[in-house]
Amino acid sequence: MSYPVVVEDAEKLATLTLAATVNPGDLLGYNSGWVLADSTVSTIYYAQWIALEHGVSGQRIKVAKRAVLYDQDAPYTAASLLYLSGTAGGVTHTRPTTDGDLRQVVGIAIDTYRAEIEIKPVQQVEVFISPDTLDTTGEPGLGAADAGWAGPQVDGAGETFYFKGRIPENVVGSIVAAKVLFNSINASAFDCDFSIVGAYDGASNVQDTGTAITAGDWEQADTDNIIYTVDVSALFDAGFFLPGRAFCVLGDPDGITADATVVGLYMTYNVV
């Protein structure tokens, strides 16, 4: 028979109003209200709380950030990590493997009957990606340097450049920021198209192409000897920016006056 989960210990308590039916030990996420957390790509609601009691939609219940759960059915493997499951509200020792699923570590088994569940705070991280060695500028490969800034030097239409990266498997929510940095060598009148291609492991190499940007320009006024930024966050639309997807960004200028060094791409996002 299946026994209910018993909460033996809990810390960092709060009270929430539910938008679903839950039981003690269920993990809760947010979707226009507090519902059962889910790692499934089409319904990612990352775990934020542990339910401490039974409740139905509209009811207020006690929740916690950390708890020890006892399950008489002995479903756990001692000293093994636990992930948010694709079965809503549940945990699993099996790391989610479906393309786009969230991989959120939520705890570890103490023994076969008990698990320590601890919901860590969301962290905001920033990564910086240097330009790829492939470019079609007048100084391909090694690039050029100006005022200490090295990289592909763009000085004409069609001088393309690239960035490659991978979206973390524990990413949540929308992208916070994505900007390409340029070093201005008296550059002005920038007009650059940006496109993106992405794929999961083992999937088509053109599995998703995001949202292209046409006539992209830097956010600052045309000025010599400054660092420009071009916002390219639109490339990473909601359908593209999902856990575990590799990507390649192409910058393809249609026009530029004077020169600019491509410094890099920085991205800011949230992970659990």
Whether 83 and 138 share a structural domain: no
* pLDDT tens digit sequence for 190-218: 999 999 999 999 999 999 999 999 999 99
Whether 90 and 10 share a structural domain: yes
Whether 144 and 76 share a structural domain: no
Q: Is pLDDT above 80 for 81?
A: yes
Taking CA atoms, 111 is separated from 70, 114, 147, 238, in Å, by 10, 5, 59, 39
* pLDDT tens digit sequence for 40-66: 999 999 999 999 999 999 999 999 999
Whether 91 and 143 share a structural domain: no
C-beta atoms surrounding 28 within 10 Å = 24
Whether 70 and 137 share a structural domain: no
* pLDDT tens digit sequence for 16-39: 999 999 999 999 999 999 999 999
44 in a domain, yes or no? Answer: yes
15: enclosing H helix or E strand? strand 6-17
Whether 75 and 92 share a structural domain: yes
Whether 146 and 67 share a structural domain: no
Final residue of a domain: which of 72, 102, 118?
Answer: 118
Cα torsion angle, 179, 180, 183, 185, sign: negative
262: enclosing H helix or E strand? strand 246-271
62: enclosing H helix or E strand? strand 60-70
Final residue of a domain: which of 97, 118, 139?
Answer: 118
Question: The CATH number of the domain where 243 resides is what?
Answer: 2.60.120
Whether 13 and 47 share a structural domain: yes
The percentage of the chain sitting over the pLDDT mark of 70, rounded to a whole number, equals 100
Whether 100 and 134 share a structural domain: no
Confidence band, pLDDT 50/70/90 cuts, at residue 1 = very low
The domain of 84 spans 6-118
Whether 129 and 261 share a structural domain: yes
1 in a domain, yes or no? Answer: no
pLDDT, residue 95, reads 95
- Phi, psi (degrees; rounded to nearest 5) at 173: 75, -170
Maximum pairwise Cα distance, the chain: 75
C-beta atoms surrounding 105 within 10 Å = 16
229 burial (CB, 10 Å; 0-12 / 13-18 / 19+) is middle
Final residue of a domain: which of 88, 118, 148?
Answer: 118
* pLDDT tens digit sequence for 106-140: 999 999 999 999 999 999 999 999 999 999 999 99
Amino acid at 198: G
The total number of structural domains in the chain stands at: 2
131 in a domain, yes or no? Answer: yes
Segment 88-100 shows an average pLDDT of 95
52 in a domain, yes or no? Answer: yes
Whether 157 and 227 share a structural domain: yes
Confidence band, pLDDT 50/70/90 cuts, at residue 4 = confident
- Phi, psi (degrees; rounded to nearest 5) at 3: -100, 150
Whether 239 and 127 share a structural domain: yes
